[in-house]
């Protein structure tokens, strides 16, 4: 079975000349279908750098990253965007909602740019699990922080991505909701057989994950 995501000696260096930061040391990593993976580590250790490289938002300085076996190394921005649209789902720290679209229309937009999203039944079920089915006619501004985050999670799951990347998805949720969201991510990962990688600070969530990695100064190491 081919890994969905592979890092092959991939590293990231910022800056030029003598003033460089090696945010990600040469890393080899692979993740398979149906895996729910946690990345923990102190702030500034390189977790977001790892996640954005995995999602094709930036490319590795050295080494290569493969998504479903395809190398991202020499892709142009247009091809990377296509990979992000087709294969990746992001749950971002910042809300990824369009300010002038109602919750319902956030999903219509996705239907316009990408095919093979969730069926109406799957969608209804997703909305119920996340508790957002009563928010469909609201604008992002009318939602609370937690509601926005749940809609953002629904958006990321809606396109059924092969790789779901979440950067602190539960940061703005109370702990009951946080546990609910984690069990939803767990369920979706098994149901859709995708790869989900979650960056988190919250060690109480660790039991939900299949694998836990720790990032320290740009070095990624498996914990268990």
Partner 1 sequence: MFLAWNEIKQNKLRFILISSVLLLIAYLVFFLSGLVNGLANMNREAVDKWQADAIILTDESDKSLPQSILSTDDVSQVKNANHLAPIAQINAIASRVSDEDTRQGVAIFAVQPDDFIAPNITDGHMFGRKGDVVAADYLKSEGFKVGDKVKLSSSDKYVTIVGFTDHARFNAAPVLYTSFETMQQIKGLPIESDPLVNAVVVQSENISTIKVPTSLEVVETETFIEKLPGYAAQNITLTLMIAFLIVISSVIIAIFLYVLTVQKASMFGVLKAQGISNAYLARSVVAQTFILTVVGVALGFALTWLTGAFLPYKVPVQFDILSMLIYALIFIIVAILGAVFSVLSIFKIDPLKAIGG
Ligand X SMILES: Nc1ncnc2c1ncn2[C@@H]1O[C@H](COP(=O)(O)OP(=O)(O)O)[C@@H](O)[C@H]1O
Q: Which of 146, 151, 169 is nearest to 102 (CA)?
A: 151
- Cβ burial of 222 (10 Å; 0-12, 13-18, 19+) is exposed
What is the closest distance, in whole angstroms, from the C-beta atom of residue 46 to ligand X in the complex? Answer: 4
E strands, the chain, where?
A: 5-14, 21-31, 36-40, 62-67, 70-71, 88-91, 163-167, 195-199, 211-216, 219-222
In this structure, the number of other CB atoms found within 10 A of the CB of residue 83 comes to: 18
Residues 68-87, interacting with partner 1 (CB under 8 A): 78, 81-86
Using rule CB under 6 A, residue 140 touches ligand X: no
- Write the interaction track for Mg ion spanning residues 42-71; mark x where CB under 5 A is met and - where it is not: ------x-----------------------
- Write the interaction track for partner 1 spanning residues 117-136; mark x where CB under 8 A is met and - where it is not: --------------------
**Residue 138 interacts with which of ligand X, partner 1, Mg ion, none, CB < 5 to 8 Å by class:** none
Q: Hunting for tokens 């250790």 — which residue is that? A: 45
Residues 25-64, interacting with ligand X (CB under 6 A): 41, 43-49
* CB closer to partner 1 out of 36 and 199: 199
* CA–CA distance, 181 with 194 (Å, rounded to integer): 16
Using rule CB under 8 A, residue 51 touches partner 1: yes
> Which residues contribute to the site for ligand X (CB under 6 A)?
14, 21, 23, 41, 43-49
């Amino acid at each position: 079975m081919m890994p969905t995501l592979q890092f092959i000696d991939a590293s990231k260096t910022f800056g030029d000349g003598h003033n460089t930061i090696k945010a990600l040391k040469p890393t080899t990593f692979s993740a398979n279908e149906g895996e729910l993976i946690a990345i923990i580590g102190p702030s500034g250790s390189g977790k977001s750098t790892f996640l954005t490289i995995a999602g094709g938002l930036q490319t590795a300085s050295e080494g290569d990253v493969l998504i479903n076996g395809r190398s991202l190394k020499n892709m142009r921005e247009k091809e990377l965007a296509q990979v992000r649209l087709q294969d990746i789902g992001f749950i971002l720290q910042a809300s990824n909602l369009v300010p002038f679209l109602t919750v319902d229309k956030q999903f219509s937009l996705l239907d316009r740019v990408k095919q093979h999203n969730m069926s109406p039944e799957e969608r209804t079920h997703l909305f119920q699990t996340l508790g957002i089915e009563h928010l469909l006619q609201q604008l992002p501004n009318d939602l609370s922080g937690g509601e926005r985050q749940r809609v953002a999670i629904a958006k990321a799951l809606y396109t059924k991505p092969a790789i779901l990347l979440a950067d602190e998805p539960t940061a703005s949720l109370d702990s009951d909701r946080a546990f609910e969201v984690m069990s939803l991510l767990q369920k979706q990962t098994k149901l859709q057989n995708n790869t989900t990688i979650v960056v988190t600070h919250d060690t109480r969530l660790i039991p939900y994950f299949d694998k836990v990695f720790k990032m320290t100064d740009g070095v990624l190491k498996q914990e268990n």
